[in-house]
Each structure stands twice: as structure tokens, then as C-alpha cells.
């Protein structure tokens, strides 16, 4: 398709029913603002530029929509209908594009395929292309009335005849318009209606009156779902998650209970990875082939290489990088740290701002003490090192290759390669003192109870 295209994204709605301090298009689906989903679909449909029609939070909306395409913003100061909203982008439309796509910033499930199909219909000779959907319950929707393959009218439910109300092909609101006719059609839209607003749907009749061709294409019902409330946002999130899970399953990822796994827009999981129930992926997570993420783990901004094992109940925070065959076990947390090939961080351990060498073994309850109250410091543990349980490694500190750290140690100085480090107080046993202490504590308790303390 050698045609150029402008996407006009309507994003000026107040979204008062969201009951939110921010514009509704900034609310996220799959940890990505809705506006970014819409612009991303337009970009994948090969549009050349995007015009955002904005209201409040204009700068934030423009920032969230930035995918690398040329973007212009146009403020809609009055809310006088959808055609009026599109005309807010008049300056951009006047630059001259072959195709104009009109989409909504609160429809994050719209696909690039549907937008490409709309553009193709323009290329095939249509002047206006309406994106519709089919539903078994069309009550309240505008009906798309077709004759001989053309769209002849969009009839609102209240104005439709009994026969027309049986039509299940409904208006989804989004359109494609031939660029050389867009402004003429939009300027001809009047506001002679009960609300005194300028409706985009009127260009269907206007185009036909001028001898133009109007067609409709079909999208799935979920693609055109708009979000007006938190309940609607939750519904769209559920549909998006189901779509993303299905794509991963079909790509060869195993999920034991897919409905319990939650993904982000950029989650990358390769074939033959295994994801157990109740795993949450925040933004920036990558899981390579052959890795297993056990139940109740949370992964964000982290990379898990081939053959790794994570969890159950593990948390990988941004900057965590597990090399091939590494293991992070139950109730462990890793942040901004590299776990070397075949290394093990088995359980109840915190590793932050650290580098763990290949085949090192970090015992239960080990802590890299990386923060001094003002600055972060790094811990380096060499290849094949063994750190005993319940050890505290006070950074900055280096544990050498093949070194041992005795259980219960507090390590504040570097440990050379192949050395054995003890960093704990000398144990002393006082014969009989335990009995005396117990008797004294028991007596104190009885005195307090007698005094009513």
C-alpha cells in the first residue's frame, strides 16, 4: 500500500465516570496506557503521522502516545460532538494525506489488522469506511444498513424500524476517510439535532449525496470496546490478558493455569518455558526457552535465561539477570544483580546490587547489605563460592572464587579466593546460668501479674 496516512486519535473526553484525577486514556491495560495501545496499533497499520485531539493532561497524553511517529496535539476546548473533535485536527488534515483514520484513545483492543483493512478499503475506491461489529444483543447501538455491498445509512436505535432493529451489524464508531474529501465532508456536518452537536456519522449520508462510495468492514466486538468506568477498564484488561495468554500458548509456552497468569504489554516468553499458576509479570520481563517460573512469583524488569528455575514465591526486580541454569528459590528477592550460570540462590535470601559468579551457592537467609542509608554499594561473589546460611555481606565487599563463608557470618572485608571466612562472635557457654535466668524471668512475671500490670 503506497498511500500515506494520518491517524486522528480522539482523546479529549473528560472520563468523569472513571472518577479519576487523570485523563482516562492514561489508565493502563497490560501496564501500558490505553492511548499507547491505540497509537501502537495505528503504527503497526503503517500510518505516517498521528494527531492527538486532547483535553486535560495534554502533555502527559502526548508523552504516553509517543512511539516514534510524528505526533501533533490539538486541544478541543469545547465538546460539540465527534465531527467537531476531528476538526480540531484541521491543521494536520490540511497537510494532505491519502488516508485519514479516526480512532478513539479509549479503545485499547483495536488491532492493526482492522485498521489495515479499513485503509485497504479506501485503496479499493471507498470514500468513507465505517468499522462495525456484530453482536447478538444490538440494543442501543447504531445499525449499519447495507445494500449491494455498500453502507447506505447508520440508523440510531431509537430511530430504527422494527425490521432495522433486527440487524446485528452495528457501528463501532471508528472510520477511515479519503484524505482528499475529508475536510469537505467534515465541514458539511451540521448540528441540527436534539443535542446541537456535530456527529461524525453524518458523513456517511453526505458522502453518498455527493456520489461517493461508503462501505463497512467488520471488527470483533471486543476491538471496539470503549472504556468509560473502572468496571469497563477491568473488563478490557481481562480481554487483553486472555488475548496475550492465548498468543503465548499458541507460541509454545506452557501455562498450568493460564487464567491466573498476568502479563504486561512487553512480556517476552519463549517457547518451551513453563509458567506455573499465579505468576505476575510486570513491564520489562523476559523468560527464555526451557526456564520454569514456579507459582506465586513476581517478575519485573528482569531477564531469565535458558533452563533457569525461579520460585515459588520469588521476586525478581528491575535489573535482575539470571544466566543459563541459575536458580532463585522460594521467598527470595533479587534486584539489580546478575546471577551467574548454574549459580543457586535457594531460599529466604535477598541479593541486591550484586554479581554472583557461576556455580556459586548462596545459603538460606543470606543478605547483601547494599544500602548505608545514603548510597547503594555492590557485592561481588566469585565463581564456585559458598556462602553459608544466615550470612550478612556488608557492601562494598568481594567474596573470592571458591571461597567459603561460614554460616551466621557478618562479612565486612573482602575474602580472598579459596579462603574460609568466619565473621561471627565467639560462642561462650555458662553452665547453669540458663536455669537462673529462667527463674528470674518467671519471678518477674509473677510479680507483675500479682500487681495487676
Residue by residue, DSSP assigns 94-114 as: TT--SEEEEEETT-TT--HHH
Active-site option among 157, 294, 347, 377: 347
Binding site membership for acetyl-CoA: which residues?
364, 370-371, 389, 407, 424
Q: Are strands 169-178 and 392-394 parallel, antiparallel or unpaired?
A: unpaired
Cβ-based burial of 448 (10 A; exposed 0-12, middle 13-18, buried ≥19) = exposed
The pLDDT value recorded for residue 428 is 84
Query: In degrees rounded to 5, what are phi and psi of residue 239?
Result: -65, -40
Closest CA to 133 of 51, 221, 62: 221
> Could you give the domains of the chain?
5-219 (3.90.550.10), 234-421 (2.160.10.10)
The pLDDT value recorded for residue 453 is 61
The verdict on whether 347 is a catalytic residue reads: yes
Binding site membership for UDP-N-acetyl-alpha-D-glucosamine: which residues?
10-13, 24, 76, 81-82, 142, 156, 171, 317, 335, 350, 361
pLDDT in tens for each of the 453 residues of the chain? Answer: 589 999 999 999 877 899 999 999 999 999 999 999 999 999 999 999 999 999 989 999 999 999 888 999 999 888 888 999 999 999 999 999 999 999 999 999 999 999 999 999 999 999 999 999 999 999 989 999 999 889 999 988 888 899 999 999 999 999 999 999 999 999 999 988 878 889 999 999 999 999 999 999 999 999 999 999 999 999 999 999 999 999 999 999 999 999 999 999 999 999 999 999 999 999 999 999 999 999 999 999 999 999 999 999 999 999 999 999 999 999 999 999 999 999 999 899 999 999 999 999 999 999 999 999 899 999 999 999 999 999 999 999 999 999 999 999 999 999 999 999 999 888 788 899 989 989 998 999 999 888 876
Binding site membership for Mg(2+): which residues?
106
pTM: 0.91
The pLDDT value recorded for residue 1 is 54
CA distances from 174 to 39, 42, 195, 231 (A): 14, 12, 21, 22
* Other beta carbons less than 10 A from residue 232's beta carbon: 16
Amino acid at each position: 500500500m503506497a498511500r500515506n496516512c494520518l491517524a486522528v486519535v480522539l482523546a479529549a473526553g473528560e472520563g468523569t465516570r472513571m472518577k479519576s484525577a487523570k485523563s482516562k486514556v492514561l489508565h493502563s491495560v497490560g501496564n501500558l496506557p490505553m492511548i499507547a495501545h491505540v497509537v501502537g496499533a495505528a503504527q503497526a497499520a503503517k500510518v505516517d503521522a498521528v494527531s492527538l485531539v486532547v483535553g486535560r493532561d495534554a502533555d502527559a497524553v502526548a508523552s504516553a502516545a509517543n512511539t516514534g511517529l510524528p505526533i501533533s496535539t490539538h486541544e478541543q476546548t469545547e465538546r460539540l460532538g465527534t465531527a467537531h473533535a476531528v476538526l480540531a485536527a484541521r491543521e494536520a488534515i490540511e497537510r494532505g494525506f491519502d488516508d485519514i483514520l479516526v480512532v478513539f484513545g479509549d479503545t485499547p483492543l483495536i488491532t492493526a489488522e482492522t485498521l489495515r483493512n479499513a485503509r485497504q478499503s479506501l485503496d479499493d475506491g471507498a470514500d468513507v469506511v465505517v468499522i462495525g461489529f456484530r453482536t447478538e444483543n444490538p440494543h442501543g447501538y447504531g445499525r449499519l444498513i447495507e445494500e449491494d455491498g455498500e453502507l447506505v445509512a447508520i440508523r440510531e436505535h431509537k430511530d430504527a424500524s422494527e425490521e432495522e432493529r433486527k440487524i446485528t451489524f452495528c457501528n463501532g464508531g471508528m472510520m477511515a476517510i479519503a484524505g482528499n474529501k475529508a475536510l469537505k465532508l467534515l465541514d458539511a456536518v451540521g448540528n441540527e439535532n436534539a443535542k446541537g452537536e456535530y456527529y461524525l456519522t453524518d458523513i456517511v449520508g453526505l458522502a453518498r449525496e455527493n456520489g461517493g462510495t461508503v462501505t463497512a468492514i467488520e471488527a470483533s466486538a471486543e476491538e471496539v470496546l470503549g472504556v468509560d468506568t473502572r468496571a469497563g477498564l477491568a473488563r478490557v484488561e481481562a480481554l487483553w490478558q486472555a488475548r496475550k495468554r492465548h498468543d503465548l500458548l499458541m507460541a509454545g509456552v506452557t501455562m498450568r493455569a493460564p487464567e491466573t497468569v498476568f502479563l504486561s504489554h512487553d512480556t517476552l516468553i519463549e517457547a518451551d518455558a513453563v509458567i506455573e499458576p499465579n505468576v505476575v509479570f510486570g513491564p520489562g520481563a523476559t523468560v527464555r526457552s526451557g526456564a520454569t517460573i514456579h507459582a506465586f512469583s513476581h517478575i519485573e524488569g528482569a531477564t531469565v535465561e535458558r533452563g533457569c528455575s525461579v520460585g515459588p514465591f520469588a521476586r525478581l526486580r528491575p535489573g535482575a539477570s539470571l544466566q543459563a541454569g541459575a536458580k532463585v528459590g522460594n521467598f527470595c528477592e533479587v534486584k539489580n544483580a546478575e546471577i551467574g550460570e548454574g549459580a543457586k540462590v535457594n531460599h529466604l535470601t535477598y541479593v541486591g546490587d550484586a554479581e554472583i559468579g557461576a556455580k556459586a551457592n548462596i545459603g538460606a537467609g543470606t543478605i547483601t547489605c547494599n544500602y548505608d542509608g545514603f548510597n547503594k554499594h555492590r557485592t561481588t561473589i566469585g565463581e564456585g563460592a559458598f556462602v553459608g546460611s544466615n550470612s550478612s555481606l556488608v557492601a562494598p565487599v568481594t567474596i573470592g572464587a571458591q571461597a567459603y563463608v561460614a554460616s551466621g557470618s557478618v562479612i565486612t572485608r573482602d575474602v580472598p579466593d579459596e579462603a574460609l571466612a568466619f565473621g561471627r562472635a565467639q560462642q561462650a557457654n555458662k553452665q547453669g546460668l540458663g536455669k537462673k535466668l529462667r527463674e528470674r524471668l518467671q519471678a518477674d512475671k509473677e510479680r507483675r501479674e500479682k500487681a495487676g500490670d
